[in-house]
């Protein structure tokens, strides 16, 4: 059984009872979570450092990354942040009170700034060159090397995070990524000023207006002002008002947002695809299906455009299975129509 976002949040509220080896972790503050293809990520503090606690979004997510974690543990590449797998680490419960266990992945968050938000670019070209040489010598490919996955630190240079797609002993999968990074960070790069067109409704200093700015996804950046979240474009314009209790980054044109203790789904204009009426909601980028509800109320599903499907289930696992069957039936029907 795969834990939901709410399962993890409940576990983090009682870490000593919900975790074994990680029982001393603490949430980093607020509901800071995001989503990748394989994992839901929650910022936590542990052993005096910040980490990403990664819980699986698919049954085989941990299996896919386990070999990478083992190799990184043995070879200790200096430019890759610490990455560990903990099996059966987190305890959570279904609606009937049954206990389940989930593997988790822990990724250390270096104390620094993602390259996507870096203004002083001096020395970054040299760091990237050293990183490329190290990866080639080790036969390592990150395979998702982009500025938001590279942290520039003051002490340890640059370190990459999220090696969920990484491989060893294969052809250089990062060649094109390094080419793009070298174009972004040329040899003579200096300190950039982040300026925007005030006449176009932008702002001069994003750090003064927002308490936190996340990397860009699908041409939009998630921002936080106080306890509320919204989105800005690459020119700094607030295209989606800061009004949500929580928000995830956009994936495939959709983002999960919270309001008044409920969760919904919006498109890139800020319009609700699914209104915030549900205690829990998860959106799948693989099939565009959203599963919504709670352990107490039961679960239903919506398609990519927000149309409710004829799905009712007592547990979220059954709702996921029924949604997958719906997609398969739709594909079969369309194939026969051709």
Residue 258 is part of a domain; what is its CATH number? 2.40.128
Write the pLDDT tens digit of every residue in 299-330: 999 999 999 999 999 988 888 888 888 877 76
3-state secondary structure of 108: strand
Tokens of 31: 């509901």
Q: Do the bridges between strand 167-168 and strand 140-141 make them parallel or antiparallel, or are there none, so unpaired?
A: antiparallel
Do 270 and 309 sit in the same domain of this protein? yes
Range of the domain at 149: 112-184
Do 88 and 121 sit in the same domain of this protein? no
* Residue 218 pLDDT: 82
- Would you mind telling me the total number of residues written for the chain in this entry? 338
**Which residue's structure tokens are 């980028």?**
285
Do 150 and 169 sit in the same domain of this protein? yes
Q: If you average pLDDT over every residue of the chain, what do you get? A: 85
Element spanning 306, H or E: none
Do 37 and 100 sit in the same domain of this protein? yes
Cβ atoms within 10 A of the Cβ of 73, count?
12
End residue of a domain, out of 108, 123, 151 = 108
Do 89 and 124 sit in the same domain of this protein? no
Do 102 and 50 sit in the same domain of this protein? yes
How many domains does the chain contain in total?
3
* Residue 197 pLDDT: 37
Do 116 and 176 sit in the same domain of this protein? yes
Query: Is 84 among the domain residues?
Result: yes
Query: Is 198 among the domain residues?
Result: no
* Residue 47 pLDDT: 85
Q: What is the pTM of this model?
A: 0.60
Task: Tally DSSP H helices, then E strands, for the chain.
Answer: 7, 22
17 φ, ψ (degrees, to nearest 5)? -95, -20
Query: Is 194 among the domain residues?
Result: no
Write the pLDDT tens digit of every residue in 89-144: 999 988 788 999 999 999 999 988 888 887 777 789 999 999 999 999 999 999 99
Query: Is 90 among the domain residues?
Result: yes
Query: Is 203 among the domain residues?
Result: no
Q: Give the burial class of 47: count Cβ atoms within 10 A of its Cβ; 0-12 exposed, 13-18 middle, 19 or more buried.
A: exposed
Do 59 and 128 sit in the same domain of this protein? no
Query: Is 202 among the domain residues?
Result: no
* Residue 198 pLDDT: 33
What is the CATH classification number for the domain harbouring 38? Answer: 3.30.200
End residue of a domain, out of 81, 108, 135 = 108
Do 264 and 310 sit in the same domain of this protein? yes
Residue 242, pLDDT > 90, answer yes
Query: Is 47 among the domain residues?
Result: yes
* Residue 201 pLDDT: 36
* Residue 204 pLDDT: 37
Do 163 and 249 sit in the same domain of this protein? no
Write the pLDDT tens digit of every residue in 185-221: 887 655 543 433 333 333 333 445 888 888 788 888 8
Task: Average the pLDDT over 273-297 and give the result.
Answer: 89
Tokens of 88: 């059966």
* Residue 207 pLDDT: 44
Do 140 and 217 sit in the same domain of this protein? no
- Residue 335 banded pLDDT, cuts 50, 70, 90: very low
* Residue 101 pLDDT: 95
What is the CATH classification number for the domain harbouring 163? Answer: 1.10.510.10
Query: Is 191 among the domain residues?
Result: no
* Residue 188 pLDDT: 64
Spatial distance between the Cα atoms of 313 and 324, rounded to a whole number of angstroms: 13
Task: Average the pLDDT over 39-65 and give the result.
Answer: 90
3-state secondary structure of 98: coil
Do 35 and 122 sit in the same domain of this protein? no
End residue of a domain, out of 58, 78, 108 = 108
């Amino acid at each position: 059984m795969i834990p939901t976002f709410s399962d993890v949040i409940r576990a983090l509220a009682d870490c000593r009872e919900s975790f074994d080896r990680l029982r001393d972790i603490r949430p980093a503050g607020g509901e800071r979570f995001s989503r990748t293809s394989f994992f839901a990520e929650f910022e936590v503090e542990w052993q005096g450092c910040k980490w990403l606690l990664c819980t699986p979004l698919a049954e085989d997510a941990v299996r896919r990354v386990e070999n990478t974690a083992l190799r990184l543990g043995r070879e200790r590449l200096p430019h890759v942040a610490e990455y560990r797998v903990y099996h059966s680490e987190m305890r959570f419960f279904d609606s009937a009170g049954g206990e389940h266990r989930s593997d988790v992945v822990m990724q250390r968050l270096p104390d620094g700034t993602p390259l996507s938000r870096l203004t002083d670019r001096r020395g970054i070209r040299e760091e990237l060159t050293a990183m490329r040489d190290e990866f080639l010598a080790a036969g390592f490919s990150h395979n998702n090397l982009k500025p938001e996955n590279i942290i520039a630190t003051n002490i340890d240079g640059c370190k990459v995070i999220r090696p969920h797609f990484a491989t060893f002993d294969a052809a250089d999968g990062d060649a094109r990524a390094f080419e793009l990074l070298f174009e972004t960070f040329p040899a003579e790069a200096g300190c950039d000023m982040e300026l925007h067109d005030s006449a176009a409704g932008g702002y001069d200093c994003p750090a003064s207006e927002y308490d936190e700015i996340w990397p860009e996804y699908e041409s939009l950046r998630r921002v936080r002002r106080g306890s509320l979240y919204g989105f800005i474009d690459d020119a700094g314009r607030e295209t989606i008002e800061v009004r949500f209790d929580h928000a995830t980054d956009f994936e495939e044109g959709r983002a999960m947002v919270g309001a008044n203790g409920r969760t919904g789904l919006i498109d890139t204009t800020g319009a609700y695809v699914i209104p915030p009426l549900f205690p829990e909601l998860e959106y799948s980028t693989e099939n565009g299906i959203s599963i919504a509800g709670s352990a107490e109320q039961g679960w239903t599903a919506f398609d990519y455009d927000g149309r409710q499907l004829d799905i009712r289930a007592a547990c979220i696992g059954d709702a996921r299975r029924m949604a997958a069957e719906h997609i398969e039936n739709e594909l079969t029907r369309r194939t026969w129509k051709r």
